[in-house]
Amino acid sequence: MQTKPVMTLDDVKKIAAAAEAEAKANNWPVVIAIVDDGGHLMWLQRLDGVAPISAQIAPAKATTAALGKRESKIYEDIINNGRYSFLSAPLEGMLEGGVPIIVEGQCVGAVGVSGVKSSEDAQIAKAGIAALGL
């Protein structure tokens, strides 16, 4: 039987606080979603001024990153490079801004952000994950 690390609520709160700080430092209104390794929502935070649709997009990006164990941008790139059949994949958040949380080589969850440019969404997600000091 294998064992692997699991995120705690304290871990999630650290990620959320750091992601929020990054967003606020740049004056970026976003939604921050954090999921476990199965894509189950553990945290959703909607900053003031963000478009309501972002509350659906951020968790989708996070789920895609967690289940795929890779950044959601990979799927966006696959589609943009002409593999349109990938649009039929059973994932909804195939846009940049979902970043997996890898601990000891294992995906323990992911952060998804939506509300600004996709590269900025990813920047916020990565700042949140960095708070874990991995």
Which token pair is 46? 């909607």
pLDDT digits (tens, 9 = 90+) for 76-122: 999 999 999 888 888 888 999 999 999 999 999 999 999 999 999 99
Counting every residue written for the chain, the total comes to: 134
Residue range 9-130, CATH number: 3.30.450.150
Q: Quote the pLDDT of residue 134.
A: 86
Distance CA 83, CA 127 (A): 31
Unique residue bearing structure tokens 């589609």: 79
Q: Quote the pLDDT of residue 86.
A: 81
Confidence of residue 32 (pLDDT cuts 50, 70, 90): very high
pTM of the entire predicted model:
0.95
Distance CA 124, CA 30 (A): 9
8 Å CB contact between 71 and 99: yes
Distance CA 96, CA 11 (A): 23
> How does the average pLDDT of the chain come out, rounded?
96
Q: Quote the pLDDT of residue 34.
A: 98
